Amino acid sequence: MAAIKSEFVNSYIGENSYFEGRFLVNGVLQINGKFEGTILKVDQIFIGPTARVKANIETSSVVIEGIVIGNIKATTRVLLMPTARVLGDIHTPELIIQNGVLLEGRCHISHNLSHSAKDLILKEYNNG
């Protein structure tokens, strides 16, 4: 798994565990098991290679090695490791995709997540 020091993780869904529902976490969450729900709201999240997540994710940053079905909104960055499988839209100012990733969805890369990248680009174009 990507460099994760266990002392920084304060919530954990283990490899043989299953959680369903709405999950809000202050701090760092590591998932190696299965999570299904409407929303997963976490400060930082690490989705391990054995993880299966079916939910919309809101976070500051996320590292994905497993499977995610749902939209991702990250205020800092999204890192997709080679084993990542993502089906959903990604909104973030920084997206890092390593070789081997499977991704289907729209990617919206902008430092201003309150406005669409399209609107910001057209505004810059028309002002120039």
pLDDT digits (tens, 9 = 90+) for 61-112: 999 999 999 999 999 999 999 999 999 999 999 999 999 999 999 999 988 7
In a domain, 83, yes or no: yes
Nearest-angstrom CA–CA distance, 28 and 11: 6
Residue 54 domain flag:
yes
Q: What value does the mean pLDDT take over residues 45-72?
A: 97
- Residue 19's SS3 state is strand
Query: Does some domain include residue 33?
Result: yes
d(CA 119, CA 128): 14
Q: What is the CB neighbour count within 10 angstroms for residue 125?
A: 8
* Residue 12 pLDDT level (bands cut at 50, 70, 90): confident
Residue 1 in any domain: the answer is no
Q: Could you tell me the residue range of the domain that residue 16 belongs to?
A: 6-127
Query: How many independent structural domains does the chain possess?
Result: 1
